[in-house]
Structure formats: C-alpha cells, structure tokens
C-alpha cells in the first residue's frame, strides 16, 4: 500500500500594516493601560488600612504595641498626604505598610493580653492552693 501525501496550501493573510508598526501600536496601547492603572487613587487599600488601624486600636495596640501603632498611624498619614499630592503609587505602598504595621500591633496586643490573662490565672490557682493548704491545717 502506498501512502500519498496531499499538499495543501494555507491561505496567508497579508496585512496592510507592517509588523513593526503593529508591535509599536501594541506597546503604546499597553503603555496607556499601565499608565491608566497607575493614575487611580488607592481608595480601597486606604479603607482597608484605616479599618486595620481602627481594629488595632480597639485591640489595645496603643497600650501594648505603641511602637507599631505609631508606625502604622504615621504611615497612614503619609499615605493620605501622598494621595492628596496624587502620588498614588507612593500612597498605595505607604497604605500597605501601614496596614501590616497595624496588623502586627493588633496581634502583639492580643498576645500581650493573653499573656496577662495567663499570669492572672496562674496567680489565681496559686492563691487557691495556698487557701486550700491553710484550711487543711
């Protein structure tokens, strides 16, 4: 049995635009898209950061994690100033940093509260032991 191959020709599309011009148009379009993204104020990130700072304050961050809270609040203020000056990339970066500082402050405050609660519980157990030994004697 003999195998015959069939030669087919595919239609090539010819374009009136040279390839270099297409690439330049594509690069220019991408540049506009990227520039448009950079020009948007980070309002959502700012709101998330504000919420994180408020949560950290509620958790006792100002008392138990003062350094982290100060850093978060300072960066949040800097982000607000950067947004006012339309430096949106800088504002987004500062807001993200402030969010993480606030989250660290909140976790640190929670840990400190838990540690204090543990100490109080241990003290209570110790007092109960002493009281029970007195009543036995």
- Average confidence (pLDDT) per 10 residues, the chain, 137 residues: 58 55 54 55 94 95 95 97 96 97 96 93 91 78
Burial of 97: CB neighbours in 10 Å, binned 0-12, 13-18, 19+: middle
The angle subtended at Cα 83 by Cα 27 and Cα 104, nearest 5°, is 105
CATH of 39-129, one of 3.90.1300.10, 1.10.10.10, 1.10.357.140, 1.20.1270.390: 1.20.1270.390
Residue 135, pLDDT score: 73
Cα 100 to Cα 117: distance, rounded to the nearest angstrom: 25
Let me know: does 69 contact 100? Beta carbons within 8 Å. Answer: no
Q: Is the pTM of this model over 0.75?
A: no
Residue 30, pLDDT score: 47
């Amino acid at each position: 049995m003999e195998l015959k191959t069939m030669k087919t020709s595919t239609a090539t599309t010819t374009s009136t635009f040279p390839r270099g011009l297409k690439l330049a148009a594509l690069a220019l379009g991408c540049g506009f898209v990227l520039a448009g993204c950079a020009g948007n104020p980070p309002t959502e990130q700012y709101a998330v950061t504000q919420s994180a700072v408020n949560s950290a304050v509620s958790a006792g961050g100002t008392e138990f994690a003062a350094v982290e809270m100060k850093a978060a609040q300072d960066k949040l203020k800097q982000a607000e100033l950067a947004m006012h000056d339309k430096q949106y990339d800088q504002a987004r970066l500062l807001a993200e940093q402030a969010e993480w500082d606030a989250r660290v402050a909140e976790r640190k405050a929670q840990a400190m509260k838990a540690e204090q609660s543990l100490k109080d519980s241990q003290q209570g157990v110790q007092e109960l032991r002493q009281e029970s030994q007195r009543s036995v004697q």
